[in-house]
Amino acid sequence: MTPVFIGSGIYRGSSYGAWHPLHIPRVSTVMDLARALGWLPLSQYHTSPRAKPKMLTAFHTPDYITALMRAEALQTVTDATRARHGLGTTANPVFAEMFRRPATGAGGVMLAAELLRDGGVAHVPGGGTHHAMADRANGFCYLNDPVLCLLALRHMGLTRIAYVDIDAHHCDGVDAALAGAPDMLMISVHEDRRWPFTGALGDDAGGRALNLPVPRGFNDTEMRHILHQLVMPVLERFDPQAVVLQCGSDAIEEDPLSRLALSNNAHVETALALRDLSPRLIVLGGGGYNPWSVARCWTRVWGALNGHSADGPLPDAAQDVLRALAWNRRGAGRTPLDHWKTTLNDPAREGPVRPEIIDGVASLRARFDATSPHSRYNGPQGWKKTAQSPAPSP
């Protein structure tokens, strides 16, 4: 099946406010850049529907959905609503599309699940809001569309669903939602000692979560080690019928809200590895607060999923999209670098694999291997089965 892209015009001009880290254009720039490259024909593009309130209560409480819709309609919240539901805060402010925009992201991921009923790949860059809780907004996230996506896949009858999160910030909302779920497996790679200060190495969410906090300066070589020594072998044993990848770009070196040092090469390598592992792959967006890093990363991932590459300078039309971006957030960081406006591919950011990465991977592998001892992964060369390995599940 040809990959599908799910987007919407609601992301064009919608903003959390001029002072907020999410005032920058993200999904709209990805759509513009992909079209400028000829990578987004009409046959692959689907407009995201807005999820109806009843659909959202598959995870969120009816009281919270009512409060969120009322806050958008009135453009204000009471002190009681702010205290109970986390609306109207610095992180989750009142703004014009505060219900419609996240409900569109939720509708997009649920559409992706439906379109992949018989298999395939979907990219939903408007998804990935992984901090929202059932009854409150949290960490720039009003609705938890990753959880709604996972539940939609379960509703289709799938019984082995994996969620992989490479955002710089731990997916606390997903972690809380999936605690103890026997049909779900979560793997999160996130910055240690970074908000929300959850996802410690020993936190397993009832046995179905592998949390790997990583140190500052986390590099491409370390991400590759985690991919081939943890993510791939664990997922091969789990044998997922679907994988949902939260592909937050805030772990890229130039992002202002983390201290990690990946290039977008790591995101592409991860997405392609997971595509080849599972019959269904849904790639979401997530964090990302440098407009050039976000647009280049998610566009490059979409291109790679379609077999496209963009080595060397971009064509003029694509460069024009990147040159039109502005970043006016005070204290946001450096002056834009030339290659942010002329290329998609970041330079590789390789380095040593530090002991805490090696030890963390080994600890999580040992924990998982204790319950699934029948096969082993042989790194980038592929899988090796032991004599006791069961036949693959249907």
Catalytic residues: 131
- Nearest alpha-carbon partner for 24 in 287, 252, 265, 247: 287
- Pairwise CA distance, residues 177 & 91, whole Å: 21
- Is residue 144 within 8 A of residue 177, CB to CB? The reply is yes
In the block, which residue shows the tokens 């919407």? Answer: 8
Of the candidates 130, 125, 141, 195, which has an alpha carbon nearest to the alpha carbon of residue 165? 130
Closest by CA position to 137, among listed 108, 95, 166, 165? 95
- Cα(273)–Cα(232) distance, integer angstroms: 8
Q: Please confirm whether the linkage preceding 233 is cis (ω < 30° from 0).
A: no
Q: Do the beta carbons of residue 221 and residue 229 sit within 8 Å? A: no
Strands (E), 203-360: 209-214, 242-246, 280-284
Identify whether the C-beta of residue 220 lies closer than 8 Å to the C-beta of residue 349.
Answer: yes
Question: Residues 78, 329, 262, 192: is their CA dihedral positive or negative?
Answer: negative
Cα 310 to Cα 155: distance, rounded to the nearest angstrom: 38
